[in-house]
A and B are shown apart, each in its own frame.
Chain A
Amino acid sequence: MTPLRLLSEDPSDRGSQRCRLGPGMMSALGLSLGSPLLVSVPGGSCLCTAWPRSDLAESFLQMDLKCVSPSLTSQVPTQVDVDPGQFTPVSCPKLKGVKITVVVQTADFKKQTPVRLVHEFVKDMLKGVHVHKGYVVNLEDFDTEIRYAVIESINPDDSNAGLITSKTGVEILGIQTARHYRNQLQGERAVQLGGLEEVSASLKEMLQLPLLYPSTLNSLGVSCPRGVLLVGPPGVGKTVLVHRVVWEVGASLVVVRGPEVVGSRPGESEEKLRAVFERARSAAEEGPCVLFLDELDSLCPRRTGSSAPENRLVAQLLTLMDGINQSDRFLIVGATNRPDSLDPALRRPGRFDREVIIGPPTLQQRKAILSVLCDRVPVCPSVNMAELAQTTTGYVGADLSALCREAAMHAIRENSKGSGEQVVGMKHFQEALKSVRPSCLRSSLGRTELTPVSWEQIGGLDEVKLKLRQSIEWPMRYPEAFLRLGLCRPRGVLLCGPPGCAKTTLVKAAATSSHCAFLSVSGADLYSPYVGDSEKALAQLFRQARACSPCLLFLDEIDTVIGSRSSSQTPNSVQTRLLSVLLNEMDGVGLKTLERRGTEKILLAEGAEENHPKEELDCQEVCNKDVMVVAATNRPDCLDSALLRPGRLDHIIYVPPPDQQARLAILKVCTQSMPVGADVCLEELATKTDLYSGADLENLCKEAALLALQDENMEASEIKHTHFLRSLSNMCPSLTAQQIHTYHTAHR
């Protein structure tokens, strides 16, 4: 049989519960006039009575949505084709009794109308209607305040559907307002949330306690908390969290977005605010209710001056929050990402009793978020969520969802070229990682685009590489081993050595291999003509670095950025102030409360099963929440001694000028991409280039190549040994023996 086109119903059929079919279709289905019929359409199903169309046309379907499944009350399907297989004739015996919940339009009506009267009307309205258990009967066609009747149960209950006659007893179990009912329905489509279990549990508790144990709380004489302030950077999921919790508890939600309340006329904003509180109060009478003030900082800024219009709004909010009685059982949740700009009067117990800080997600939380996000995406089984969580340091929930979207887009683009099954693989995520950057680091001054450098691209210096790996890579890769031996990871590493010996390149390689966020800062970023600005910038840099830990913070040429207190002539210069900031940030008393992330997890002594992958992640999370500072200098004597003590820059790695072996290795790396003649003897060059630094050697190779071009007029195909020798004779080493000697003595 051909599918039927679903058309909207005829106005004259409104309220008749008829379902118009062609007579042919009715005979085919064995239906007579007025036979009850269950029609399933996308989004729900509808119980109606079959009736032939007046024009007797086939292949169309019109139905009156009198008795529908709850999901169909808000959205009406249009423009769909219904297969005849979706029709199920049902038997509708006359019912003895039916239990219903009545949904009315306004709370006023609910309050003022006696149940007896509602009962009388509803009974009249329901007469002659075919009902189905769990379905909703739409009573809007009577144009009264009574909107729906939800069929909770029917008697006899051996069949699911039945006909209400004048002899059917109607029992009203409860009366709800339409808003409350709709909220309940909407909740079924709530979003999923990952990684915020603790916060959501505490919010849920605050909502449910006064409802579940009112007498206990009364007998204890305590008032339950009524205000929660959610603080966190943008995109961590504050708003989503509130929606989710509200859904889980089944509470109704009244949302106030800051700018929506503000009106242009004097007094208008306050009036709107009062109306919102009134709405919450009436909603709270039906069940738990949350009044959600999103972007609270715009609604309630710090009061300044004497007569700014915002002051009145703030004062109104304060008085309204104070005016909540114990009997008004609703919870106020505020969300902001700029808690410092809130009025301090708001942040006291009695108004916002609790402040919940939601920081950027930690490794575990990121993993949870990713698995929630990828729940509906067909992800290739090879994608390792833990690995992905590790690479996405500093990403908040919003970034991660953008990442997943981007990855899915890549997969679609690839599939549109060739045909294949729609799965999102690891390579798509890798592609997406390039375009989606963490929003924590956006507009951060230390953010640098890093060209990946592998350890192999640095010739020689094996000892230094090993030390760097020990202090940077190992704590991130093998936290459990560190924990077992009671080691804690170093706070900072200082690379010192003569110029041109690959200190910066070494740091690049370390950053590449350790998969953590990398921030690099130079004097130019920090210095500013304003007093105090540089210090603030440095402190801000550390804050951002901590937000996306594990993080590598690289201070190149630290001797120029941060001076020494002993040697400088002016004791109060910018350098010394920066130094004090740096010392504090690296080894200060503690963090600001606003920077809290996740829950305070403390590893219990020597976990028994260290091989367990989950515990491994836990380990990583606990051990790597600090910022690793890497500094580089070629004048270690200029640094303040306080900076060099253990606990700050505790690993001082001397990067020596290359010895003969190392020079050979460097030359090999440098000439890798050059067509070198067969007669070139790199060993000989290595012996002849004593006191040459890595940079010098690179320059030497370049010069030789240029000489080759000069000699053979742009047609040179290879570089001969003579070119190297000639360039060698033209150059002199940049290091001196005396210089190296001073480094050696200083280092010892």
Chain B
Amino acid sequence: MSKLAIPSLHQALRKSFTNLESNQKVWKSVLAECSPLMVSLGNLAEQSRALSNVQISNTPLRDFPDLEDRLRFKLSHATDVVLGKLNEKMSSLQSVKDSISNQASGVLQLYEQNADSLDMAAVTERSATTPSVVDMLEWLQDAERHYRQQLLRRKYLLQMLRADDLSSLESAPHRWKSLDSPDAEDRITDTLCKVSFFMESQ
């Protein structure tokens, strides 16, 4: 019985890791697109700050009517546009995460269906080319958890931004950057390396 379950599990795992690999690339590229947007968000905040610091009536620009209000409107409009773009990016990140989550839970479900026929020895059996089922499930879950955390933290950062809190807007690009955790990304890359032989051994 276990003879039958293991290959099908392996097959599912292979599929998930392929999926993970492609998703990782998508995630990276989307994030790369986000960072200039964040920088421009910070710039806009800085401009707003400068606008509130200056007394337009003391400058040669005082002849323009309603200049401050107009500028402010323009800036907030631009901020809105940037945030809208960021939101689009977030939804594509969300779809990446959803796909990874679905894969991970699908594999675990497949395992659970066959759990009765698989004893511990079978699932913990490793070889030089093939990591054990336990390890691979674990890596998959770890990756899923990492993306979930990343997505939530970034979403949280964006949701907590408020137009009247300029300092938080200004620091947003910096905080966005600090959310990157290269360690965890590396771990996922490592994982993909570890399973590369397994994926090739169709």
A residues at B contact (CB < 8 Å): 12, 15-16, 23-24, 26-27, 32-34, 51-52, 54, 56, 112-113, 117, 121, 124-125, 127-128, 141-144
Contacts and interface: CB of A to CB of B under 8 A. Distances in A.
Contacts of B108: 33-34
B138 interface: yes
A15 B120 contact: no
A699 B135 CA distance: 100
Contact of B120 (A27, A112, A125, A142): A27
Contact of A15 (B135, B145, B156): B145
A51 B134 contact: yes
Nearest to B111: A33
Contacts of A56: 124
Contacts of B118: 32
Contacts of B135: 54
A23 B120 contact: yes
30 contacts: A15-B145, A15-B149, A16-B141, A23-B124, A26-B120, A27-B119, A32-B112, A33-B108, A33-B115, A34-B108, A34-B112, A51-B134, A52-B123, A52-B124, A54-B135, A54-B138, A113-B160, A117-B159, A121-B159, A124-B148, A124-B152, A124-B155, A125-B152, A127-B148, A128-B105, A141-B149, A142-B149, A142-B152, A142-B156, A143-B153
Contact of A142 (B105, B123, B142, B153): B153
Closest 4 CB pairs of A and B: A32-B115, A23-B120, A27-B120, A144-B156
B69 to A, nearest CB: 26
Nearest to A32: B115
Nearest to B98: A166
A144 B145 contact: no
Contact of A12 (B111, B115, B120, B142): B142
A27 B134 CA distance: 14
Interface residues of B, number: 28
Residue from B108, B120, B162 whose CB has the most chain A CB atoms within 10 Å: B120
Interface in B111-165: 111-112, 115, 118-121, 123-124, 134-135, 137-138, 141-142, 145, 148-149, 152-153, 155-156, 159-160, 162
A281 B92 CA distance: 44
B187 interface: yes
Interface of B: 105, 108, 111-112, 115, 118-121, 123-124, 134-135, 137-138, 141-142, 145, 148-149, 152-153, 155-156, 159-160, 162, 187
Chain B contact residues: over half helix, strand or loop, or mixed? Answer: helix
A24 B148 CA distance: 32
A109 to B, nearest CB: 9
A655 to B, nearest CB: 89
Given A24-B120, A33-B134, A16 B149 contact: no
Contacts of B137: 33
Contacts of A24: 120
A113 B160 CA distance: 8
Residue from B118, B137, B138, B153 whose CB has the most chain A CB atoms within 10 Å: B138
A696 to B, nearest CB: 97
A39 B8 CA distance: 33
Contacts of A33: 108, 111, 115, 123, 134, 137
B149 A52 contact: no
Contacts of B105: 128
A125 B137 CA distance: 21
A128 B141 CA distance: 11
Nearest to A15: B145
A23 B105 CA distance: 22
Nearest to A124: B152
A40 B187 CA distance: 32
A177 B124 CA distance: 44
Contacts of A12: 142, 187
B112 A51 contact: no
A15 B145 CA distance: 8
Contacts of B120: 23-24, 26-27, 52
Nearest to A22: B120
Contacts of A143: 153
Given A12-B187, A16-B141, A23-B120, A52 B112 contact: no
Nearest to B151: A124
A52 B135 CA distance: 9
Nearest to A139: B152
A143 B155 CA distance: 12
A275 B145 CA distance: 40
Given A33-B123, A54-B135, A121 B152 contact: yes
Given A52-B124, A121-B155, A142-B149, 12 more contacts: A16-B142, A26-B120, A33-B115, A51-B134, A54-B135, A54-B138, A112-B162, A117-B159, A121-B156, A121-B159, A124-B152, A144-B153
Nearest to B135: A54
